[in-house]
Amino acid sequence: MSNQSIGLWGQVEQRFNQNDGEPFASVRLINGADIKPEPIDWLWDGWLAAGKMHVFGGAPGTGKTTISMGLAATVTTGGRWPDGTASPAGNVVIWSGEDDPKDTLVPRLSLSGADLSRVFFIGDVSQGAESRSFDPAKDMEPLRHKLTEIGGVRLLIVDPIVSAVTGDSHKNAEVRRGLQPLCELAGAMRCALLGITHFSKGTGGRDPVERLTGSLAFGALARVVLVAAKHQEEGEDGRTVRLFCRAKSNIGPDDGGFEYDLQQAELKAHPGIFASSVLWGDAVEGAARKLLATADATGDDGEGGTLADAKRFLGELLENGPLAVNAIKADANGAGYSWATIRRAQKSLGIVPKKEGGRFGSSKQQWLWQLPVESNHGESLKMLKNVEDAQQKKVSTFRQIEHLQAESSGKSDYDPDCELF
């Protein structure tokens, strides 16, 4: 740089300081040799880390909030995690924009055995004589003061995490701008930040982190991403098997998980009030994408309804006789079911495809679907009105039936995916 340039820069710098009346900004550089390495401060080793952001996603109905209340209860009592390790005891702060603490969250916490004296809910903000809703864009500093007052905060839950974003939740820059104050708060308070979100529809089979609703920045900012899914419709004991998995981690292992179940029970201290809680099962191994692929194929697919709902819909549609595949597609689309879900329901129910018309007939050739009739063994395959009742009774009312074979080639030429609406 020339002397003239240096002089010019000095003049600009001087005018800036004089006009603004503020000290000249200076960037502080920290030498790496002066930084002492520190281990990750884990609340739950490999799963929940102090001072870090975590995102917990899943399809509706997988029990994300119930699981989160179970995790909160463990922190308040210094209880045991699903792997048997102990949690450090501490306070939990919850910001919920979807569930009422009185009739939903507190009952779930109580059923999970939480120490309610260590649970705090973020309420309204008082400003002078007025009261307004909490705004993360304005009220992060007052919240910091409150958390400092109560002390010992180990877990901060935000449900849903998208409520912390005041702008467009599908734009990376706005998501990062909205979440940064929360991340800084968690870092300053040394508490784990757990944000709850949903899976986007139509994302089955993709990487679990990419399935989170909104911008990819939600998954990118999170140091750990957790997911929940229905693994299969029914286990050996007739219960729905669910999976809680680790889909991403920048600070530890990024695979594995636990089976879990949800139970409903009445609160002993409050007769007539029922709540749900999580029951943890065995540990499972494998990447979340692979584990969730099984869940997508057998349970809640996140693409327009669960398999059980689709089976009931299809059974009622065909109970009066065969229907053309084009008509079934149209009805399913109108009811909000994806074609992939309907195809799984068709296979699960043993629905028989058959060709009608064409060649020697006067009508146009088309494929029809019909419910199975009695098998050669005399077992009734009649469709029950309520599939779920049959599942609860552990009665199999359907069996897989092979597709009809083309008489000429011995191979099926059936491909309903090629038919148009």
Q: What average pLDDT score do residues 393-398 get? A: 31
What pLDDT score does 51 carry?
A: 97
d(C-alpha 9, C-alpha 28), whole Å: 20
Mean pLDDT of 159-166: 90
pLDDT confidence of 298, banded at 50, 70, 90? very low
Mean pLDDT within 172-191 = 93
- Is a pLDDT exceeding 90 seen at residue 144? yes
Mean pLDDT score, 245-252: 95
Report residue 363's pLDDT band, with 50, 70 and 90 as the boundaries: low
Check pLDDT > 80 for residue 334. no
Give yes or no for residue 131 having a pLDDT over 70.
yes
What pLDDT sits at residue 48?
98
Length of the chain (residues):
421
- Residue 392: predicted pLDDT: 35
Confidence of residue 6 (pLDDT cuts 50, 70, 90): very low
Q: Which residue has the higher pLDDT, 300 or 106?
A: 106
Res 152 pLDDT > 90: yes
pLDDT at res. 240? 66
The pLDDT of residue 388 is: 36
For residue 294, the model assigns a pLDDT of 62
Q: Which residue has the higher pLDDT, 383 or 337?
A: 337
CA distances from 341 to 241, 311, 350 (A): 19, 9, 14
Query: Which tens digits make up the pLDDT trace of 48-98?
Result: 999 999 999 998 888 999 999 999 999 999 999 999 999 999 999 999 988
pLDDT tens digits for range 314-325: 888 888 788 888
Residue 53: beta bridge partners?
193
CA 308 to each of CA 25, 97, 250, 345: distance values in angstroms, whole numbers, following the listed order: 62, 29, 36, 8
Which pLDDT band holds residue 296 (cuts at 50, 70, 90)? low
| Listed range (345-349, 380-384, 414-418) with the worst mean pLDDT | 380-384
Contact in structure between 231 and 279 (CB atoms under 8 Å)? no
Position 372 scores a pLDDT of 85
Cα(352)–Cα(373) distance, integer angstroms:
9
For residue 194, the model assigns a pLDDT of: 98
Residue 104 pLDDT exceeds 90 = yes
The model carries a pTM of 0.67
pLDDT at residue 413, rounded to an integer: 47
Non-local (6+) Cβ contacts of 68 within 8 A are: 56, 157, 159, 194, 196
Output the pLDDT for position 344.
80
pLDDT at 250 over 80: yes
- Strands of 91-223 (E only): list them: 91-96, 119-121, 125-127, 130-132, 153-159, 192-198
Spatial separation of the C-alpha atoms in residues 82 and 201, rounded to whole Å:
29
Name the average pLDDT for the chain: 79
Measured distance CA(39)–CA(329) in Å, rounded: 55
- pLDDT band for 395, please (50, 70, 90 cuts): very low
Mean of the pLDDT values across residues 396-417?
37
The pLDDT score that the predictor gives to residue 148 is: 96
Domains of the chain: 3-34 (no CATH), 42-298 (3.40.50.300), 307-418 (1.10.10)
SS3 11: helix
Name the percent of the chain in helix, strand, coil, to the closest 5.
Answer: 35, 25, 45
Residue pointed to by tokens 């307004």: 132
**Sorting pLDDT into bands at 50, 70 and 90, what band is 326?**
confident
For residue 345 the two structure tokens come to 């329901």
Predicted pLDDT at 358 = 55
Q: Which contiguous run of DSSP H or E holds residue 278?
A: strand 274-284
Model confidence band, residue 336 (pLDDT cutoffs 50, 70, 90): low
Q: How confident is the model at residue 359 (pLDDT cuts 50, 70, 90)?
A: low
Task: Tell me the pLDDT band of 339, cut-offs 50, 70 and 90.
Answer: confident
Instruction: Please report the pLDDT score of residue 9 as a whole number.
Output: 42
H helices present in 319-409, as ranges: 325-335, 339-349, 387-392
